[in-house]
Amino acid sequence: MQKLDESLLSGLPPFSRLNRAQIREILDQARIQRFEEGEEVFSEGMEATHFHLLLDGFLRVVRTTAGGEQIIVLHISPGQLFGIAAALQRDTYPATAVTAAESIVLSWPSPLWAGFTAQYEGFATESYKTVGQRLGQIQDTMTEIATQAVEQRVAAAVLRMVNQSGRKTEEGIEIGFPVTRQNISDMTGTTLHTVSRMLSAWEKDGIVRSTRKHIVVTAPHRLVEISGH
Amino acid sequence: MQKLDESLLSGLPPFSRLNRAQIREILDQARIQRFEEGEEVFSEGMEATHFHLLLDGFLRVVRTTAGGEQIIVLHISPGQLFGIAAALQRDTYPATAVTAAESIVLSWPSPLWAGFTAQYEGFATESYKTVGQRLGQIQDTMTEIATQAVEQRVAAAVLRMVNQSGRKTEEGIEIGFPVTRQNISDMTGTTLHTVSRMLSAWEKDGIVRSTRKHIVVTAPHRLVEISGH
DNA sequence: GTGAGACGTTGATCTAAAACAAACTCTTGG
DNA sequence: CCAAGAGTTTGTTTTAGATCAACGTCTCAC
């Protein structure tokens, strides 16, 4: 197995204040894994043996209800830590992480967390910043689901994905990973039927173009209007 | 102003591993304040100058949308830290804290946070545990709002309040702070009308007894059934 | 003691979105 | 190449819960 290059981590916030040697140390303790689209990195309730960093790809963090329905709590983009139950003194993962696209993940055993925060300048600070942002984001989503109409929620969800992973094409901005109508309904607490109708309507209005598992937003400003933000 | 007694803090998780002298130090740096029911301890977007501990009373943590609607994100019980934006490297509060009953609050300047976590054994650990629990709880609430019917959500919200603050009476378990129909609707993303009808129906079924701003749950098990948990 | 404001109830109507239903169309694997 | 499964579309019906509306009642301040 080839050695990982230090440059993989050096640009990322939790590691930005560390020198080459320190990053080397950290990398040498990591396990690297590749996941196919749709695989679970860990699942809800499972013992939190590791904490992780997404190097490449995309993840959905998902909770499943007793009744079998599921909702997508948030998405993880490359460069972000996830499954950091250890940071919050939990011993099980509170949600399931499933890849939205083929992904590369670094993992460290949970017990190393304490050492990382103690030894590495800025690691704790930046990690807790991430936790804070995520908490804020979940609160936003929750407020949105509780107060906004379905169309606004769906618009907001699409915009969130565009902001996290959008890449320019000639037609507009494209979401950088596969998304189904069902996925969007799981993000917004609605049904795939409603999402499908919504996208059809938007397509008729020239706001989006979409094919199977694939969405291009051609008029982002109009979506922003719809979302009411 | 009288000196605060060390016993106020010694039983609480973040301080449980500290000795008298350390607790004295911490108390001497605190500001203590009394708030009437309905007052704001801090509000959304405000600079996070302090972090706080609720000694007595009850708090609601609230977010307000652009459209003026509000939702209650969680409740804070006595003994809990809150407004710990500093812990998550935020410089503004992400939500508003308003007292649900007359409350006593200790506050420390945010810059002390770093010192507390560094000097006091167990303080960081326990505080982050709290953050983790709160994150989990918000995720639960969000999942609930996204997937459950209104009656289930309202039942769950009432049960949550009962669990946090319930005290036994001859009639049943009483929620320990004033709650309006509007408050419950703000917790569940519904309207006061719907909540009112729901409580009336439950009262007819002998599950609750309620008067103005006051709820006694007479058949908790039935509420649990309704909530579907 | 009275009046204003906050809180609560209940009825009638309306509607957004779920549920039900069925067909269409890619994609993939054997 | 074709069959099965996954994803999508679209029509129709149904309903939970919002909205509109009006009135009752408690609390407290003057």
pLDDT digits (tens, 9 = 90+) for B15-72: 999 999 999 999 999 999 999 999 999 999 999 999 999 999 999 999 999 888 999 9
Would you say the C-beta of B49 is within 7 Å of strand C?
no
Lowest mean pLDDT among A1-15, A143-157, A164-178: A1-15
Distance (Å, whole) CA A56 – CA A19: 22
Confidence at A4, pLDDT banded by 50, 70, 90: confident
Q: Which amino acid is at A174?
A: E
C-alpha dihedral sign at A187, A190, A192, A193: negative
Taking only the tens place, the pLDDT of each residue in A10-24 is: 999 999 999 999 999
- Asked if the Cβ–Cβ distance from A66 to B139 is below 8 Å, we say no
Note whether B80 and B29 are within 8 A (CB): no
| Residue A216 CB coordination number (10 Å) | 18
Distance (Å, whole) CA B118 – CA A180: 47
Q: Which amino acid is at B77?
A: S
Query: Within an 8 Å CB–CB cutoff, is residue A135 touching chain B?
Result: yes
User: pLDDT at position B4, please?
Assistant: 84
- Nearest chain A alpha carbon to B135: A135
**Left (φ > 0), alpha (ψ -120 to 50) or beta: where does B189 sit?**
left
**Neighboring chain A residues of B146 at a CB cutoff of 8 Å:** 71, 145, 188-189
Taking only the tens place, the pLDDT of each residue in A36-74 is: 999 999 999 999 999 999 999 999 999 999 888 999 999
| Residue A89 CB coordination number (10 Å) | 17
**Neighboring chain A residues of B145 at a CB cutoff of 8 Å:** 142, 145-146, 189
Distance (Å, whole) CA A123 – CA A18: 9
Q: What tokens appear for A147 in the block?
A: 């107060």
User: pLDDT at position B121, please?
Assistant: 87
Determine the Cα angle at B220 with ends B215 and B221, to 5°. Answer: 160
**Residue holding tokens 């950290």?**
A26
DSSP string, A23-81: HHHHHHT-EEEEE-TT-EEE-TTSB--EEEEEEES-EEEEEE-TTS-EEEEEEE-TT-E
Q: Quick one: what percent of chain A has pLDDT higher than 70? A: 99
**Residue holding tokens 């079924």?**
B205
- The protein footprint on chain C, as nucleotides within 7 A of a CB, is 7-12, 16-21, 26-27
Distance (Å, whole) CA B42 – CA B224: 34
Distance (Å, whole) CA B159 – CA A210: 43
User: pLDDT at position B135, please?
Assistant: 96
Q: Quick one: what percent of chain A has pLDDT higher than 90? A: 95
User: pLDDT at position A2, please?
Assistant: 62
User: pLDDT at position B175, please?
Assistant: 97
Distance (Å, whole) CA A113 – CA A128: 12
DSSP string, A96-154: EEEESS-EEEEEEETTHHHHHHHHSTTHHHHHHHHHHHHHHHHHHHHHHHHHS-HHHHH
- Asked if the Cβ–Cβ distance from B135 to A89 is below 8 Å, we say no
- Asked if the Cβ–Cβ distance from A87 to B141 is below 8 Å, we say no
Give A177 CA → C26 C1' in Å: 18
**A194 Cα to chain B: minimum distance (Å):** 15
What Cα–Cα distance (Å) separates residue B92 from each residue in A138, B44, B149?
A: 17, 7, 34
- Asked if the Cβ–Cβ distance from A189 to B146 is below 8 Å, we say yes
Distance (Å, whole) CA B15 – CA B125: 11
- With a CB cutoff of 8 Å and minimum separation 6, the contacts of A78 are A54, A55, A56, A57, A58
**Neighboring chain A residues of B113 at a CB cutoff of 8 Å:** none
Q: Which of residues 51-110 of A touch B (CB under 8 A)?
A: 63, 65-67, 69, 71, 73, 85, 87-90, 94-95
Going across the sheet that includes B70-76, the strands are: B40-42, B96-99, B59-64, B70-76
User: pLDDT at position A133, please?
Assistant: 96
User: pLDDT at position A30, please?
Assistant: 96
Task: Using CB atoms, pick whichever of B129, B136, B229 lies closest to residue A94.
Answer: B136
3-class SS at B68?
A: coil
What Cα–Cα distance (Å) separates residue B25 from each residue in B15, B22, B116?
A: 12, 5, 11
Burial class of B183 by CB neighbour count within 10 A (0 to 12, 13 to 18, 19+): buried
Q: Tell me, what DSSP letter sits at residue B3?
A: P
Three-state DSSP string of A187-204: HHCCCHHHHHHHHHHHHH
**Neighboring chain B residues of A135 at a CB cutoff of 8 Å:** 88, 94, 131, 134-135, 138
Taking only the tens place, the pLDDT of each residue in A132-159 is: 999 999 999 999 999 999 999 999 999 9
Q: What tokens appear for A18 in the block?
A: 């560390």
pTM beyond 0.75: the answer is yes
Overall size of chain B counted in residues: 229
Residue nearest to nucleotide D18 (CA to C1'): B191
Going across the sheet that includes B173-174, the strands are: B167-168, B173-174, B214-217, B208-211
| Residue A125 CB coordination number (10 Å) | 15
Q: What tokens appear for B33 in the block?
A: 């304040």
pLDDT along chain B (229 residues), means of 10: 83 94 96 95 97 97 92 97 96 97 97 96 94 96 97 98 95 96 98 98 96 96 93
- Give mean pLDDT, residues A191-220: 97
**Residue holding tokens 């004033």?**
B178
Could you list the protein residues whose CB lies below 7 A from any atom in strand D?
Answer: A 180-182, 192-193, 196-197, 199-200, 210, 212-213; B 149-151, 189-191, 193-194, 212
**Neighboring chain B residues of A87 at a CB cutoff of 8 Å:** 128, 132
Nearest to B36 by CA among B145, B139, B150, B178: B178
Confidence at A1, pLDDT banded by 50, 70, 90: low
